[in-house]
């Protein structure tokens, strides 16, 4: 397990302990001097002995230790700006989060399977930019276009049906929202990967696909579920309490509808694939990505903090070096100033 550099700050508690030890030692010396002789006589016998120098040496040593400890903490200040150029395409994942995606005809469920597929696709990407949209009866933006795959996966795990208030499946809303993720005048290739069971409860998906084609978007659709269908379990704390029912009280059977998904993909020159086999999906997506032209992104400024530990370590070692030359006898020019009323 890696040690957090900030834990070194606890070493600063040693400094007051050293001060206490110094004061105890000073008290003990004074006590012994009173026991064995007269203090005024001892001052006359050692006129060059300074009262100030031991305090100065302690102060220098404490400052040196403090600087070394701060150096170990590795403080970072300022920013270091680098220009990074990337080459790839823009990809938006549109994920169906309607309640029908809770069906378990695809293990562990359609929704969890879609998360696995998106995560695996992200793993095989290079420098492409990605975004995430979820949809049911309406569409909702989850993650804007980014190259931070770690953040994307974090948001991916939080995807659930509660993110969209209106139920149903509106493929046209998903396409329209995804289109806003792409810069209209950008020359970067635009790919929309839609994952759904294809149960479209809206009209206009084909028209939305036509508009997407005009923007230069290509749509790949991935269907999840079986044509035989399955019930929709409603769970609480992982335990099935009931099953989704329609307005007549009948248990809903949700089925995969590949035709609507395939039609949307065909309009934009994309393609459709059944998503029940993850390996086949990944191979298919890889083939699609290999054929899409990559373009260089606009230069991105990456800000990074600069480590400053070297300055503190340098100051610490210099102070320790100077401490060697601080003798406990009086310095001539300080003696002339008589700052501590030592000359009587």
Q: Where are the alpha helices (DSSP H) in the chain?
A: 14-36, 39-45, 52-73, 110-123, 149-157, 171-179, 205-214, 258-267, 278-291, 309-325, 332-337
Predicted confidence at residue 137, as pLDDT, reads 83
296 token code pair = 């260089």
Kindly list the structural domains of the chain, giving each domain's residue range(s) and its CATH number in brackets, ordered by start. 5-79+306-337 (no CATH), 86-296 (3.40.50.410)
Distance between CA atoms of 231 and 236, rounded to whole angstroms? 16
pTM: 0.64
Predicted confidence at residue 332, as pLDDT, reads 53
Distance between CA atoms of 167 and 161, rounded to whole angstroms? 9
CB 90 within 8 A of CB 181: yes
Spans in the chain with pLDDT lower than 70: 1-4, 33-53, 78-84, 201, 297-306, 325-344
Helices (H) and strands (E) in the chain, counts: 11, 14
Q: Which residues contact 256 (CB under 8 A, 6 or more apart)?
A: 197, 198, 223, 224, 225, 226, 227, 229, 274
274 token code pair = 């059944």
Render pLDDT for 63-94 as a digit per residue (tens, 0 to 9): 888 888 888 888 777 666 666 677 889 999 99
Secondary element (H or E) of residue 85: none
Main-chain phi, psi angles of 31, to 5 degrees: -65, -45
Predicted confidence at residue 82, as pLDDT, reads 63
Render pLDDT for 253-291 as a digit per residue (tens, 0 to 9): 989 989 989 999 999 999 999 999 999 999 999 999 999
Predicted confidence at residue 30, as pLDDT, reads 74
With H, G, I as helix, E, B as strand and everything else as coil, classify residue 235: strand
Secondary element (H or E) of residue 169: none
Distance between CA atoms of 139 and 168, rounded to whole angstroms? 11
Nearest CA among 142, 179, 177 for reference residue 157? 142
Predicted confidence at residue 340, as pLDDT, reads 47
Distance between CA atoms of 120 and 258, rounded to whole angstroms? 22
b/e code 168-184 from CB counts within 10 Å (16+ = b): bbbbbbbbbbbbebbee
């Amino acid at each position: 397990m890696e040690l957090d550099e900030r834990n070194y700050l606890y070493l600063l508690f040693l400094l007051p302990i050293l001060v206490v030890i110094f004061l105890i030692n000073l008290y003990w010396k004074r006590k012994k001097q009173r026991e064995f002789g007269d203090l005024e006589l001892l001052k006359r016998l050692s006129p060059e002995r300074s009262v100030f120098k031991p305090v100065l040496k302690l102060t220098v040593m404490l400052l040196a230790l403090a600087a070394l400890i701060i150096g170990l903490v590795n403080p970072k200040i300022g920013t270091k700006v680098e220009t990074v150029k990337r080459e790839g395409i823009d990809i938006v994942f549109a994920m169906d989060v309607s309640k029908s995606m809770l069906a378990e005809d695809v293990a562990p469920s359609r929704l969890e399977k879609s998360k696995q597929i998106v995560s695996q696709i992200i793993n095989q990407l290079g420098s492409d930019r990605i975004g995430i949209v979820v949809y049911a009866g309406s569409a909702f933006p989850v993650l804007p276009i980014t190259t931070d795959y770690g953040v994307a996966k974090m948001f991916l795990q939080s995807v659930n049906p509660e993110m969209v208030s209106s139920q149903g499946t509106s493929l046209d809303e998903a396409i329209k929202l995804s289109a806003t993720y792409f810069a209209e005048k950008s020359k970067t290739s635009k790919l929309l990967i839609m994952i759904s069971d294809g149960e479209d409860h809206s009209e206009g998906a084909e028209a939305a696909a036509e508009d997407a084609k005009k923007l230069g978007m290509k749509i790949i659709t991935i269907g999840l579920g079986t044509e035989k269908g399955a019930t929709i379990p409603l769970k609480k704390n992982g335990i099935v309490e009931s099953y989704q029912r329609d307005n007549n009280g009948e248990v809903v059977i949700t089925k995969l509808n590949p035709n609507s998904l395939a039609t949307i993909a065909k309009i934009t020159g994309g393609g459709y694939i059944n998503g029940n086999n993850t390996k086949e999906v990944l191979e298919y997506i890889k083939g699609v990505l290999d054929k899409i032209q990559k373009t260089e992104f606009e230069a991105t400024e990456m800000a990074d903090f600069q480590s400053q530990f070297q300055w503190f370590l340098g100051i610490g070692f210099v102070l320790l070096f100077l401490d060697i030359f601080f003798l406990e006898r009086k310095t001539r020019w300080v003696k002339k100033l008589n700052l501590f009323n030592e000359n009587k």
